[in-house]
């Protein structure tokens, strides 16, 4: 389920994603205004304006005060600013996928290309090949050096074309090599 932060930001965008509501906010930027006044300005019927104001109020962007039967609405600038600022932050944006399983993609690719321990084929697309390579490199320990023959043997357990895969691992900088010795950087 989506976080409360996510819902707030979504309803913020929904609130401002309509031409009439954007104009209402514009009109309220310079002055508080009654429903009838807004209706006249925007050439809409009062119920329509009322409907829009309800959405803006829901998002916390406007507040209302009564004066007799007149309802006078004003912008909540602090909320406008707070929400806008939050959208500006990359940290906040990243949380938009909070409820999504982040490794769904990798698991799918691994499932598609492996049959048990055996790699059925080397993916043509770089994106997918990367997933396979990241899995392969996990077969190597960090605190060890490997001779080329060992590297070939380990990769060979999963796919016959160990030469290509070895080269790709180096190329992707997942494995390092110097004078015939390999290790995980």
What is the binding site for its own copies (CB under 8 A)?
Answer: 2, 6, 9-10, 13-14, 16-17, 19, 22-23, 25-27, 29-30, 34, 37, 40-43, 67-70, 72, 77, 80-81, 84-85, 87-88, 90, 93-98, 100-102, 104-105, 108, 124-127
Q: Which is nearer to its own copies, 40 or 164 (CB)?
A: 40
| Backbone phi and psi for residue 181, each to the nearest 5 degrees, phi listed first | -110, 140
Please tell me the distance from the alpha carbon of residue 114 to that of residue 106, in angstroms, as a whole number.
12
Please tell me the distance from the alpha carbon of residue 181 to that of residue 158, in angstroms, as a whole number.
21
Q: Which residues sit at the interface with DNA, rule CB under 7 A?
A: 14, 17-20, 34-36, 44-55, 64, 66, 68-72, 124-125, 128
Q: Which is nearer to its own copies, 30 or 117 (CB)?
A: 30
**Three-class secondary structure of residue 162 per DSSP:** helix
Q: Least CB distance from residue 32 to its own copies, whole Å?
A: 9
Token pair 């329509």: residue: 48
Q: Which is nearer to its own copies, 94 or 143 (CB)?
A: 94
**Are the C-beta atoms of 52 and 33 separated by less than 8 Å?**
no
Q: Which of 87, 86, 14 is nearest to 55 (CA)?
A: 14
Instruction: Identify what 50 binds: DNA, its own copies, none; CB under 5 to 8 Å per kind.
Output: DNA
């Amino acid at each position: 389920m989506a976080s409360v932060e996510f819902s707030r930001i979504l309803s913020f965008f929904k609130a401002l994603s309509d031409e009439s509501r954007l104009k209402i906010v514009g009109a309220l930027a310079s002055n508080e205004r009654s429903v009838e006044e807004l209706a006249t300005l925007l050439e809409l019927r009062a119920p329509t304006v009322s409907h829009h104001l309800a959405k803006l109020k829901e998002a916390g962007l406007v507040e209302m005060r009564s004066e007799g039967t007149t309802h006078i609405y004003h912008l909540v600038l602090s909320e406008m600013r707070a929400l806008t600022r939050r959208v500006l932050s990359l940290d906040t944006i990243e949380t938009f996928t909070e409820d999504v399983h982040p490794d769904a993609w990798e698991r799918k690719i691994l499932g598609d290309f492996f049959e048990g321990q055996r790699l059925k084929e080397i993916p043509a697309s770089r994106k997918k090949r990367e997933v396979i390579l990241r899995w392969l490199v996990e077969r190597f320990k960090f605190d060890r050096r490997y001779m080329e023959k060992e590297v070939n043997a380990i990769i060979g357990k999963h796919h016959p074309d160990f030469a290509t895969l070895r080269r790709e691992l180096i190329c992707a900088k997942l494995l390092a090599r110097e004078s015939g010795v390999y290790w995980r950087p």
